[in-house]
């Protein structure tokens, strides 16, 4: 089985650090998602009309005890050679939906930065 490379936007890592102040278990949820993505799963719903295949996945927030409906939202894109870009994360209690234009801009920026580079992991442990 081929493992996919998972890369994070700098903004994504900053968002996780900010969320971690209020919701210490967010890193566990992100690690679980990264594991799924690396193993070939593509959880979530496909977002139409994006530059790349983009998905929005709902993650539970164990700190809030509200399940997926009051949990986290993560947008990720599948790039060339099945490279995964973790684009944005937010708490559903903080905002209703991500700005589609901003998500698109982040994906394009990551794609430009990573095209032609090696497919090594850039995902940090975020701890």
Give Cα separations from 89 to 17, 51, 55, 81 (angstroms).
Answer: 11, 19, 12, 23
CATH value at residue 27: 3.30.2310.20
Domain around 27: 6-114
Residue 120 lies in a domain: no
Residue 11 lies in a domain: yes
Residue 127 lies in a domain: no
Q: What's the pTM?
A: 0.85
Task: State pLDDT tens for residues 69-126.
Answer: 789 999 999 987 778 999 999 998 888 888 888 899 998 888 888 775 544 444 444 4
What's the gap between Cα 1 and its chain centre? 22
Residue 126 lies in a domain: no
């Amino acid at each position: 089985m081929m493992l996919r490379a998972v890369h994070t936007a700098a903004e994504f890592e900053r968002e996780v650090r900010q969320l971690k102040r209020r919701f210490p278990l967010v890193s566990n949820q992100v690690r679980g998602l990264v594991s799924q993505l690396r193993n070939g799963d593509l959880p979530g719903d496909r977002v139409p009309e994006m530059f790349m295949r983009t998905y929005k996945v709902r993650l539970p927030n164990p700190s809030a005890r509200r399940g997926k409906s009051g949990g986290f939202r993560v947008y990720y894109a599948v790039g060339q050679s099945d490279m995964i870009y973790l684009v944005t994360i937010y708490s559903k209690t903080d905002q209703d939906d991500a700005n589609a234009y901003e998500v698109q801009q982040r994906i394009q920026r990551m794609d430009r930065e990573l095209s032609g580079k090696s497919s090594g992991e850039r995902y940090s442990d975020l701890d």
